[in-house]
Amino acid sequence: MSCQEIVELVTEYLDGVLDPETTARVEHHLELCPGCLNYVEQMRTTARILDASQPEPLDPVFRERLLDAFRKWR
C-alpha cells in the first residue's frame, strides 16, 4: 500500500468501515511508515476535537442571508 492510498482511505479507516483485508493492509503500512502513522494520528485527533465541539447558533438574519445567497447562486 502506498502513502497516497493511505491519504485516500484515512476517513474510511478511522470510521472503521474498511473490509478486514484493506484494514490489515493499512495497519501494516502504518507499522512501516512513521509519516503516515503521524498523518493518521493527526486526522484522528482532529476528528475527536470536531466531534467534541459544539456549533454556535447561527443568527437567524445571517442564516436567511446565507440561504438567499445560495439560492441566487444556483
pTM (global) more than 0.85: no
Domain that holds residue 51: 3-73
Question: Could you give the number of structural domains in the chain?
Answer: 1
Q: Using the predicted structure, report yes or no on whether residue 34 has a pLDDT greater than 80.
A: yes
pLDDT of residue 53: 85
Q: Using the predicted structure, report yes or no on whether residue 74 has a pLDDT greater than 80.
A: no
Helix, strand and coil percent figures for the chain, each rounded to 5:
80, 0, 20
- pLDDT tens for 37-56 read 999 999 999 999 988 888 88
pLDDT of residue 23: 98
Q: Are 39 and 7 in contact, with CB atoms under 8 Å apart?
A: yes
Looking at residue 50, which CATH number applies to its domain? Answer: 1.10.10
Rounded to whole angstroms, the Cα distance separating 37 from 10 reads 10
Q: Are 8 and 36 in contact, with CB atoms under 8 Å apart?
A: no
Work out the mean pLDDT of the chain and round it to a whole number: 95
pLDDT (mean) for 10-36: 98
